[in-house]
Amino acid sequence: MKAPPEPFATASLYNPHYPRRCGQALDQALQFTPAYHSWRSFDIGIESGVFSRLASFSALTKEDLRTHGPQGFVPHGRSIPEGLASGEIELATTSGTTGDQVENVWYQPWWNRSEAASWQLNSHACGADLGNHREAILTSPWCAGVPCENGFLTKEQRTLGRFLYLCERSDPSQWPNALMNRMVDELNCFGPQVLEANPSFLGKLSRHIITNGLRVRSPALIVLTYEFPSILHLRIIRQAFDSPLASSYGSTETGYVFMECEAGRMHQVTESCHVDFLPLSPDQGGPKRGRLLVTTFDNPWRSLVRFDTGDIVRLNSGAPCPCGRHEGLTLTSVEGRLVNLTLTPGNRLVTQGEVDRALSEVPGIVEYQVIQTEQSAYTARFVIGPNETTPPTGAVREAIQAIYGPAATITPEPVTSIAPDPPGKYRLVKSLIPIDPSLFLDDQFAPREKNTQR
Interaction site with Zn ion (CB under 5 A): 261, 263, 265, 321, 323, 325
Which candidate, 190, 193, 191, 187, places its Cα nearest to that of 130? 193
CB atoms near residue 371 (< 10 Å) = 18
Smallest gap from Cβ 267 to Zn ion, in A, equals: 6
189: three-class secondary structure by DSSP: helix
Q: Which is nearer to Zn ion, 291 or 325 (CB)?
A: 325
Smallest gap from Cβ 225 to Zn ion, in A, equals: 18
Smallest gap from Cβ 9 to Zn ion, in A, equals: 19
SS (H, E, C) 405-420: CCCCEEEEEECCCCCC
Smallest gap from Cβ 260 to Zn ion, in A, equals: 8
Which candidate, 80, 366, 87, places its Cα nearest to that of 199? 366
Smallest gap from Cβ 324 to Zn ion, in A, equals: 7
Contact 136, 190 (CB under 8 A): yes
Q: How far apart are CA 42 and CA 451, in angstroms?
A: 7
Q: Which is nearer to Zn ion, 44 or 128 (CB)?
A: 128
Give residues with Cβ within 8 angstroms of 22, minimum separation 6.
Answer: 50, 51, 54, 274, 295, 297
Q: How far apart are CA 389 and CA 454, in angstroms?
A: 63
Structure letter (DSSP) for residue 252: T
Q: Which is nearer to Zn ion, 143 or 261 (CB)?
A: 261
Q: How far apart are CA 54 and CA 26, in angstroms?
A: 7
Q: Which is nearer to Zn ion, 135 or 260 (CB)?
A: 260
Q: Which is nearer to Zn ion, 324 or 406 (CB)?
A: 324
Q: Which is nearer to Zn ion, 113 or 325 (CB)?
A: 325
Smallest gap from Cβ 258 to Zn ion, in A, equals: 11
Contact 102, 117 (CB under 8 A): no
Q: Which is nearer to Zn ion, 331 or 362 (CB)?
A: 331
Smallest gap from Cβ 317 to Zn ion, in A, equals: 14
Scanning 128-276, the segments in alpha helix (DSSP H) are 177-190, 199-211, 231-240
